[in-house]
Amino acid sequence: MQPMNLDLSGQSALVTGAGRGIGRAIGSALASAGAWVFLAARTTDQLESAAREIQQNGGTAVPVPTDLSKEEDIQSLFQRISDRAGGLDILVNNAGVGFFGPLVEFSSSDFDRVMQVNTKATFLCCQRALRLMIPKRKGYIINISSVVGFKGYPNQAAYTASKHAVMGLTKSLAVEAQEHGIRVSAVLPGGVNTKMVADARPDLDPKILLQPEDIAHTVLYLLSLSDRAAVDQIYIRRRGSQPF
């Protein structure tokens, strides 16, 4: 389901972390609205499954196996998009990893991995998307952050640091990009029924969590707004949780 009158026909979109969970739901929603969707993630079988599902529903999807911790993979991903689509209209930076535990015991290698995928890959994808969007003076970049982009929880220091960094990047980029006709927004979900949340918060009952489709609908809402509107961020929490 997509917002009324949303037609993304003729537009190209890239979703990272698109093999499962939130990214898979976003890719499906964009394709349902008519976009030509490039799906990027590291796990090939999940990507191909997501692409087949879109194609069986009448959409267009291109799976591109990509290790987002490697800059050369990101460069190849955007070269393929440029070659196949001639540009990019929508970027959804959703890929992320989470390692959890007390900071006093946390390994520096796990910290580096979280920052590499969650923050540096977001930076690199934004940079390369801008190079495709600026000449056309249009585009939309949506960064999927998290409630930990403005809150802190125990045993989540590295993940929280990475998402705070994503918010800083998003805020600065929104100012830089607007002169080129490009909008930049962040979506900050609370608990979503994904494997990462299950790992981080095993105390939460999956039945009370948001679903990946809730985040996909939020992305479609942003894309349905007129060019007059610019939204900096949307915090979407599970009902019954504490606001802010």
Residues identified as active-site: 159
Residue with tokens 């994904």: 194
Give the Cα separation of 102 and 156 in Å (integer): 8
Cβ within 8 Å of residue 222, ≥6 positions away:
140, 142, 185, 187, 231, 234
Count Cα neighbours of 147 within 13 Å in the Cβ-side half-sphere: 17
Rounded CA separation 205/159 (Å) = 21
- Distance CA(87)–CA(118), nearest Å, equals 24
For residues 51 and 79, give the distance between their C-alpha atoms in angstroms, rounded to a whole number. 20
Virtual torsion, Cα 114, 120, 122, 126, nearest 10 deg: 180
